[in-house]
Amino acid sequence: MILAVLEASEGSLKKISAELAAAARKAQALMHQDGVALLLIGQEAAAAEAAAKLDADLCLIVKGAAFGAYAAEAWAQAVVAAVGEVSAPLVLLGSTSFGRDLAPRVSGLLAAGMLADVGDISLVDGQPSAERSIYSSKVKASVASLSPVTVVTVRPNAFSPAGSGVAEAAMRDLDVQVDAASVRCRVREVRRQVASRPELTEASVVVAGGRGMKDPENFHLIEQLADLLGGAVGTTRATVDAGWRPHSEQIGQTGKTIAPALYINVGISGAVQHISGVLASRTIVSINRDVEAPIFKISDYGVVGDALEILPHLIEEVRSLN
């Protein structure tokens, strides 16, 4: 079976979980496997009912004192146990902060090949393969795994979320014993940010502003447009370094990689570090007063002009359509 490690928060599945189920179903057909298994660990087991409605055949649940809060070493052992339980040749995780932390540990424990941050899955000579961007997205690399088990992290928004399967997935508890001495890092406290907007890496619409917004106070225009479109707010390293916006909104090589259906950027020139984080966006709309701005080279639509003059009109047009 193909195994997908799901993500949840406070009893609700994250969008990436449904996308992983869809990716797993595609891989199952390609590799002629006998089904798709999903894995929920610890507190995320509260989302089991929702997970059972995804397009999968089996949902494994791991509970226990060792899984009260996320601890990388313990959770990696749970994934390895699930791989053995279903004889999985392929393990899928999201290319999120969670997946990027957990996947290499699973790969190490299994001595398995790893394909990171992929946008699609294919087969080459019967082995899992993928194309991924490297060197700040300047080069496309085709990578394949030659090991019996392969660990893959899937870029958010690369797959359409899986709908409900024909029938609910069977539920099964999986007992995993963890050696306490192997868990060297423990979570002592979790401080959650209350956010009214979708998570940046999972949003289908992202509106981002750069230094071209001229003043941090002007970002209320970015926020208004994002809220009207039901999107997330993003920014650049320059504005974060200047103290205008929080690091959680930073997009690019030293921030987050996004792949929304629509990416609107305002006052962002398009340094290569930023461009590397947005190339997977399906439609890119850029507003910049500099006609020579590098961002226009990757844009589907471009508007040359003063952002502070254009944005209010754009906001009113969008508002009139709602």
3 state DSSP class of 208: strand
DSSP states of 147-169: SSSEEEEEPTTSSPPP-B-SSPP
With beta carbons less than 8 A apart as the criterion, state whether 236 and 208 touch. Answer: yes
Asked whether this chain's domains 2-182 and 205-321 adopt the same fold, the reply is yes
* Per-residue pLDDT in tens (0 to 9) along the chain, 322 residues: 999 999 998 888 999 999 999 999 999 999 999 999 999 998 788 888 888 889 899 999 999 888 888 889 999 999 999 999 999 999 999 999 899 999 999 999 999 999 998 988 998 888 888 888 777 667 888 889 999 999 999 988 888 886 665 568 899 999 999 888 888 887 887 777 667 788 898 899 999 999 999 999 999 999 999 999 999 999 999 999 999 999 999 999 889 989 899 999 999 999 999 998 998 899 999 999 999 999 999 999 999 999 999 999 999 999 998 7
Q: CATH 3.30.1950.10: does it fit domain 205-321?
A: no
143-to-127, 146, 277 alpha-carbon distances in Å: 10, 10, 20
As given in the structure block, the two tokens for residue 308 are 């502070």
Question: What phi, psi does 307 have (nearest 5°)?
Answer: -60, -35
Integer Cα distance of 90 and 240 in angstroms: 38
Integer Cα distance of 300 and 272 in angstroms: 17
What DSSP designation does 70 have?
-
3 state DSSP class of 137: coil
Domain ranges of the chain: 2-182, 205-321
Cα 173 from chain centre? 27
Residue type, 317: E
Per-residue burial over 95-128, b if 16 or more Cβ lie within 10 Å, else e, is bbebbeebbbbbbeebebbbbbbbbebeeeeebb
As given in the structure block, the two tokens for residue 28 are 């199952």
| pLDDT at position 147 | 93
Q: Hey, how many other C-beta atoms are within 10 angstroms of the C-beta on 65?
A: 9
Beta strand residue intervals within 225-297, DSSP E: 232-235, 262-266, 283-288
Overall fold of domain 2-182: Rossmann fold (3.40.50)
Residue type, 70: Y
Integer Cα distance of 305 and 200 in angstroms: 26
With beta carbons less than 8 A apart as the criterion, state whether 39 and 46 touch. Answer: no
The radius of gyration computed from the CA coordinates of the chain, to the nearest angstrom, equals: 21
Q: What is the dihedral of CA 255, 258, 262, 264, to 10 degrees?
A: 10
Ranges of H-type helices in the chain: 15-31, 48-51, 72-86, 97-110, 219-228, 237-241, 272-275, 307-321
With beta carbons less than 8 A apart as the criterion, state whether 45 and 10 touch. Answer: no
